[in-house]
Amino acid sequence: MKKLFILLVIISVSCGPNGEEIPVTQMETKYKIAYFAGGCFWCMEPPFDELNGVISTIVGYMGGHVENPTYEIVLTGKSGHAEVVQVTYDENLVAYSKLIEVYWRNIDPTALNYQFNDYGSQYRTEIFYLNEDQKNIAIRTRKELEVSGKFSEPIVTGISKAEKFYIAEDYHQDYYMKNNLKYGIYKKASGREDFFKQIWEEIDSY
């Protein structure tokens, strides 16, 4: 029910299922939106869904040059899109800075055009900001990460202005819940959890 409700709310800020262009703007409600590309979008929903104050997560595509992209096109890497999670949140309960913290802890920011065992520009890490506040927080936290000593390689995560967001096919939404067994096998084989434990020493059980 939560997912159905928010689809009705966000239609004014995305691209509809028929590909009609809808401007990407911040909603005039207490709910705000954030966009993050962190590799496989199946893996990026659970960490945000766990947060108190997150209303909904929806996966889709952003940052490319092809209109109305399908998963098959995005998968080739030729459309220029990244797999993205759209996070709708109540800023009275969770701050954008907290979303950014969760984001950094669930990616390898040193991997250029891949994440773990998924390769291609569609799996790049990128923060798509909607306003100057989001942009400034993203830049500040990236700089903090660069000097933290957590990573020996350069941070390559991009920070870009949000473009049109295309909602992915229905079978991708909440994949980790709809296909729990397959998702669990995929996540374990990818090495994501082992990487996060090594870097951060502790990790929430997403």
Nearest residue to 15 via CA among 165, 169, 170? 165
CB 38 within 8 A of CB 125: yes
Q: Are strands 54-62 and 166-167 parallel, antiparallel or unpaired?
A: antiparallel
Token duo for residue 48: 């945000």
Active site residues: 40
Q: What is the DSSP string of 71-117?
A: HHHHHHT-S--EEEEEEEEETTTS-HHHHHHHHHTTS-TT-SSEETT
Q: Give, as one character, the DSSP assignment of residue 131.
A: S
Q: Give the Cα separation of 14 and 32 in Å (integer).
A: 13
The neighbour count for residue 195, using CB atoms within 10 Å, is: 16
